[in-house]
Amino acid sequence: MDWKTARRLDLAIWVLPTGQGFEIFGPQHARRFDFGWPVVAFDVDNVAESRRELEAKGVEFTTDILGAHGGRVWTYLRDPDGYLYEISEPWEWRRADGAVPPGADPPAERIACRVRGFPWMAIRPRDFEASARFFGETLGFKTYRLNPERDFGHFLLESGEAIELFGSKNAHAEVTGGPVLGFEVDNVVEARKAMEARGVEFITETRGLEPGARARAYFRDPAGFSHEICAPWTWP
CATH number for the domain harbouring residue 130:
3.10.180.10
The residues, ordered by sequence, that sit 6+ positions from 124 with a Cβ below 8 Å of its Cβ are 165, 166, 167, 168, 172, 175, 176, 177
Domain membership of residue 11 as a residue range? 3-88
Question: Which has more pLDDT, 6 or 105?
Answer: 105
Mean pLDDT confidence for 162-189: 89
Of 57, 88, 119, the residue at which a domain comes to its end is 88
Same domain, 23 and 68: yes
Instruction: Provide the percentage of residues in the chain whose pLDDT is more than 70.
Output: 94
What is d(CA 186, CA 118) in angstroms, rounded to the nearest whole number?
Answer: 13
Calculate the CA dihedral of residues 176, 180, 185, 188 and round it to 10 degrees. Answer: 0
pLDDT band at 103 (very low <50, low <70, confident <90, very high): confident
What is d(CA 158, CA 119) in angstroms, rounded to the nearest whole number?
Answer: 12
Is 149 among the domain residues?
yes
What is d(CA 95, CA 140) in angstroms, rounded to the nearest whole number?
Answer: 33
Question: Which has more pLDDT, 5 or 215?
Answer: 215
pLDDT band at 10 (very low <50, low <70, confident <90, very high): confident
pLDDT tens-digit profile of 37-79?
A: 899 999 999 999 999 999 999 999 999 999 877 788 999 999 9
CB 166 within 8 A of CB 126: no
Mean pLDDT confidence for 116-133: 93
pLDDT reading at 190 higher than 90? yes
Question: Which has more pLDDT, 138 or 14?
Answer: 138
pLDDT reading at 4 higher than 70? no
Number of structural domains in the chain? 2
What is d(CA 180, CA 228) in angstroms, rounded to the nearest whole number?
Answer: 7
Given this model, what pLDDT does residue 102 score?
77
Same domain, 76 and 130: no
Same domain, 81 and 127: no
Comparing CA positions, the residue from 218, 214, 216 lying closest to residue 235 is 214
Given this model, what pLDDT does residue 177 score?
80
Same domain, 120 and 220: yes
Model's pTM, two decimal places?
0.87
**Can you say whether the dihedral through the CA atoms of 145, 158, 206, 231 is positive or negative?**
positive
Of 56, 88, 120, the residue at which a domain comes to its end is 88
